[in-house]
Amino acid sequence: MPKVDIALSLYCELISRILCLNCFQKLRIATMTKTLAEIGLLMMINPEIKNDDLHLPPDGLPCYRILTGKDDAKFCHRVSEALSLGYQLYGSPAATFNGQDVIVAQAIIWPEAQ
């Protein structure tokens, strides 16, 4: 596996663990520190590696996101915008009712993270 793919995989795994509320409590500081150190070491060993080479999402966006909101055109536009940036749908959408509005959620993932 190329070094760039390893760095991207480590970065996306770290972000996914941080964003997952159930996993957050299980995430140890040592694991996070080790992962960040490995990414930093890889970039120090290969200074020619840039963000563009790692195929990261634009504008510093995370590799894994959950979009939530009222089930309306605005939410649909947010999902469409993420897809046009290059994200892919991840899993099925979810819906619930808060007593006033239908609230929907859709997970998206950057394709390089899979």
pTM of the model: 0.53
Query: 3-state secondary structure string, 10-38?
Result: HHHHHHHHHHCHHHHCCCCHHHHHHHHHH
Q: What is the pLDDT of residues 99-108, one digit of tens each?
A: 999 999 999 9
The helix/strand/coil state of 47 is: coil
Residue 97 has pLDDT above 60, yes or no: yes
Cβ proximity of 103 and 69 under 8 Å: yes
Question: Percent of the chain, pLDDT > 70?
Answer: 51
Nearest alpha-carbon partner for 51 in 95, 114, 112, 103: 112
Nearest alpha-carbon partner for 68 in 57, 56, 58, 76: 76
Q: What is the pLDDT of residues 22-52, one digit of tens each?
A: 444 444 444 555 555 555 555 555 555 454 5
The helix/strand/coil state of 86 is: coil
Domain boundaries, the chain: 1-56, 59-114
